[in-house]
Structure 1
Amino acid sequence: MPNPNAIVSTRIDFDPPLDRPAEELLRAGLWVELEGGRRARLDPSDPRSSGFVQVLDGLSRLKAPVYLEIDPSNAAITRLLIPHVTRPMSMRPSDQGYEIMLERSHARHVLRRDNPDFATLEPLLRTALDTGQLLIIPEDDAHNIIDVRGYTPGPDDAPRPPWPKPDLQPFELPWWKRLLDWIWRWPIWPWWWFRCVSKATAQQTFDAMSATTCPPLTVPVPCIPFLYPDDGCWARAHEMCRLMINMGRKPRKVWIQGNLHVATKNHPNCFVNWGWHVAPTLCVRRGWFWTQQMVIDPSLFSTPVPQATWKGVQGDPNATLTPSDASIFHLWSNETDPTYVKTNQVLALYRLQLQSRAIQHGPPPYAHCP
């Protein structure tokens, strides 16, 4: 049965309202009003409470749900998680139970067989996989699913048509098309070469992107949450492309799909698992009239790298790479975001994920990671 001390709520209101500094309200007594008439208290003696106020207020503004665990003796918040509102895309048996890909996520999620609610949660996920039902799915920092609730969109919610299931195949032009392309480009090859940037310019561009990283405890808009590598790469890549275009660059994107496992100091477990990932690329001049697409990915590197290097650190030699235009927001649905509204929504959510983790686990990078 669900944890009786856990609350999943799409309603987040403060009592009293946030019309004074959080520290003052906490001293006076601050509560959160949730669905079903339930309430949770923000403990003024808990050093995390001021941060919890910021995260809860951010979720309220986004109209996003929250998962709270409370102390039954005094109703104080002891744990805060930000659930996914999404659909399952696939369920694959694993040694631990099921590995699950979610629609609006590139992380790999796990429903563990040792979860005491496994027998209840597994059929809920399987039914939603068949019907396309939207779910609220809380999970811990290791992306182990701990609860599943049905989600009913509110009257102001935009409709969410299902995304196509990711099924990328490696793409390569036939040899004769590559030959014709080479013949056509050869007379103007010097012009193509000069359109690409120098290595120094590529590094300057990378540094400009890296400088937008979020301070993890404050996450001010419009920072990019590179320090939360778990998820949200498609929005990070789209925002970087916007910034590069404003700098006069001509970025593209490269997408990778596979059984990806990446070491990182920016996760408490020192690694992340992905089903796919995306980052911008720039055409960089290499030698006499040679060019190379270099990947700009501050979530993994401190410098531009060749696509082969970018692929090599992601743990799956059989992973497939697919290039795309910079305008593609999500590859499999061919979705674009020319106004960057969707980009900003996704970035806002993952800024809060980064802040919530930093409040409860300390800010990254984590010194215990190799």
Structure 2
Amino acid sequence: MPNPNAIVSTRIRFDPPLAGRDIAEAVRDREQAVDVGGDRRIRLDPADARSVGFATVLNELAGMGLPAYLELDPDSGSIDRLLIPTLGRVLSVRARGAGGGIEVQLDRSHARHVVPGDSPDLDVLGRTLRTALESKRPVLVVTDFQGAIIDVRDFTPDPEGPLPPLPEPGDEPIPFPWRPRRWWEWVLWPIWKLLWWIRYPWFWWHCPSKVQAQAIFDAMAATSCDPLTVPVPCIPFKYPDDGCWARANEMCRLMVALGRDPAKVWIDGDLKVNSVNEPWCLVEWGWHVAPTICVRGGGWLLSTTRMVVDPSLFTTPVTEAQWKAKQGDPNATLTDTGRDIYIRPPFSPLHDDASYTATKADLAHYRLQLYNRSIQIGPPPYPCP
């Protein structure tokens, strides 16, 4: 059964309002409270070192129109734990093999969300998730810092607040864009191929060298967020749990600003990666994406190699084969695309984000996830074997 001391709130209001006030000073004010709806008001405990962080997270969530999951101390009524639910529609619910339990995939998430086999709420959560799968209604999935689903609830947005992005549900998985060649394209193909070879030396020269590729990688890695401050516009590489599409799109934007022409590579499979940026030292994904760049060298004269730039997994550019091998599924499939495809979950429209509006919003969300975890259990790296 759900934690009786837990609240999932889509209404977050500060009383008095935080506008124009220093959050640390507001927390020291013992009159500062948080209205979470339903005539429920929560006091922020000035003696709790996490309270400034809690107020920061709640204030950001209120601005985004996103909900909060709060566990309250039964004696004091103050916040004991704060989690940020994942909002989305359920794409699949399936039994896990080893250890039992349930594995869930959501439409705006590449993470594998898990109800452990030893969860006391396994049956209740399983029924709720399967009902959501059938109805395609949006739900809030609450995952703890160990990666286990602990609560699932219907999503009802705050009528007075902003609406979070939530695409309409589809009916069938949408593959990457592809169409057969038209007849006139077959006729012109030899000419295009000849022109391509004529232009190839120019293309080769404009691909970076290995040294330049490492410099590009280092420039991307340098944007990584400090987990305890997460200043905009840093990229939350230290939160590998979710949001890879936003990280990839932001890196592509930065590479274009450097005069480069990046693309993207997508991987689908049963992906498992060891990571010191995870408290439980393992991330599990259903798919993943990262930018790629052409790099001079790799074989014959004037050859190029497509290299992956993924600071969430590596410290240097790697080949697509190395990138795939790192993710633990030899049967995984790779798909190369241009950089314009923003997110590619199944059952959801393919779209770009030329204005980078969605990129900024998603990065803000995952920066907040990183910050929220860091203020409560400490920042990464974590002690992993």
Per the shorter chain, which TM-score range?
Answer: over 0.9
Instruction: Give the equivalent residue in structure 2 for 1:125.
Output: 129
Give the deviation of 1:274 after TM superposition.
0.7
Instruction: Give the equivalent residue in structure 1 for 2:13.
Output: 13
CA distance in 2, matches of 1:55, 1:295: 33
Instruction: Give the equivalent residue in structure 2 for 1:198.
Output: 209
Q: Taking every aligned residue pair, what percent have the same amino acid on both sides?
A: 53
Matches within 5 A, 1:292-331: 292-331=305-344
Structure 1 segments (4+ residues) deviating >6 Å: 179-184
Q: CA RMSD in A?
A: 2.3
Match of 2:293 among 282, 291, 307: 282
CA distance in 1, matches of 2:141, 2:80: 19
Asked if the contact 1:252–1:280 (Cα under 8 Å) also holds between the matched residues in 2, the reply is yes
Q: Cα gap change, 1:219/1:365 in structure 2, threshold over 3 Å: closer, same or farther?
A: same
Give the deviation of 1:162 after TM superposition.
1.9
Match of 1:243 among 251, 254, 259: 254
TM-score, normalised with respect to structure 1: 0.92
Asked if the contact 2:11–2:158 (Cα under 8 Å) also holds between the matched residues in 1, the reply is no
Number of residue equivalences: 364
Asked if the contact 1:39–1:75 (Cα under 8 Å) also holds between the matched residues in 2, the reply is no
Q: Cα gap change, 1:310/1:168 in structure 2, threshold over 3 Å: closer, same or farther?
A: farther
Instruction: Give the equivalent residue in structure 1 for 2:360.
Output: 344
SS of corresponding position for 2:143: coil
SS of corresponding position for 1:336: coil
SS of corresponding position for 1:47: coil
Match of 2:67 among 58, 65, 72: 65
CA distance in 1, matches of 2:310, 2:7: 37
Deviations 1:300-353 (CA, angstroms, capped at 9, x unpaired): 111111111111111111111001110110135321111111111110100000
Q: Does the alignment pair 1:231 with 2:242?
A: yes
CA distance in 2, matches of 1:226, 1:113: 30
CA distance in 1, matches of 2:145, 2:268: 22
Q: Does the alignment pair 1:99 with 2:110?
A: no
Question: Once structures 1 and 2 are overlaid, which stretch shifts more, 22-31 or 298-307?
Answer: 22-31
CA distance in 2, matches of 1:264, 1:119: 30
Give the deviation of 1:163 after TM superposition.
5.5
Asked if the contact 2:265–2:289 (Cα under 8 Å) also holds between the matched residues in 1, the reply is yes
TM-score, normalised with respect to structure 2: 0.89
Q: Cα gap change, 1:165/1:284 in structure 2, threshold over 3 Å: closer, same or farther?
A: farther
Give the deviation of 1:164 after TM superposition.
6.6
SS of corresponding position for 1:74: coil
- 5+ residue gaps, structure 1, are none
Asked if the contact 1:108–1:143 (Cα under 8 Å) also holds between the matched residues in 2, the reply is no
CA distance in 2, matches of 1:124, 1:213: 37
SS of corresponding position for 1:330: coil
Question: Once structures 1 and 2 are overlaid, which stretch shifts more, 144-153 or 223-232?
Answer: 144-153
Give the deviation of 1:101 after TM superposition.
0.7
Deviations 1:63-99 (CA, angstroms, capped at 9, x unpaired): 1000000011110100000001101111111142111
Give the deviation of 1:17 after TM superposition.
2.1
Give the deviation of 1:167 after TM superposition.
7.2
Give the deviation of 1:202 after TM superposition.
1.1
Q: Cα gap change, 1:66/1:301 in structure 2, threshold over 3 Å: closer, same or farther?
A: same
CA distance in 2, matches of 1:168, 1:245: 26
